[in-house]
Amino acid sequence: MNKPNQRHDKNGRRVTAIVAGRGDMGFIREVAERSGADLSVCFHCRCCAGGCPFIEAMDHSPHGVIRLAQLGLRDEALQSATIWTCVGCHTCSIACPMAIDMAAVMDALRQIAIETGAATWWTPGPCCDPPV
Ligand code: SF4
Ligand code: SF4
């Protein structure tokens, strides 16, 4: 279900309206510490999105997720389907002029989403069930 500040663009991708002043500005630091990637240097050239083989299946582009983190939009980033769609192929990292390790960023976001319970739509399948 969409949040009040979310819409869809003409391609069906989710678009989040930015509400100034409500961001968690510690979030980007948390992601940076976990991933070892400095997200603040992303200047949104879109080279990562241009080469991502799974971009069509994502709700936010890879750099869009970074933008959410830069703006402190913690819930939007952690509830994005993009962080579960990324397969960590590193195509984007090779193309990135700022050498941002996007796969590590997505890993960090997945970890935080699971640990904080933010990944509300994600349900472990049989492969993730503990052995009986
Ligand atoms: S390629 Fe790098 S600098 Fe460019 S938008 Fe993607 S993450 Fe940001
Ligand atoms: S690492 Fe993830 S975001 Fe980057 S190109 Fe591969 S699937 Fe796309």
Pocket of ligand 1 (CB under 6 A): 42-48, 63, 66, 95-98, 100
Are 122 and 116 contacting, i.e. CB atoms less than 8 angstroms apart? no
Total-model pTM = 0.81
Q: How far is the CA of 69 from the centre of ligand 2 (A)?
A: 17
Residue with CA at minimum distance from ligand 1 atom 2: 96
CB atoms within 10 A of CB 54: 13
**How many helices (H) and strands (E) would you count in the chain?**
7, 2
Ligand 2 centroid to residue 100 C-alpha, Å: 11
pLDDT (tens digit, 9 = 90+) per residue, 16-57? 665 556 778 899 999 999 999 999 999 999 999 999 999 999
pLDDT tens digits, one per residue of 61-85: 999 999 999 999 999 999 999 999 9
Question: Which domains does the chain possess?
Answer: 6-120 (1.10.1060)
For residues 94 and 74, is the Cβ–Cβ distance under 8 A?
no
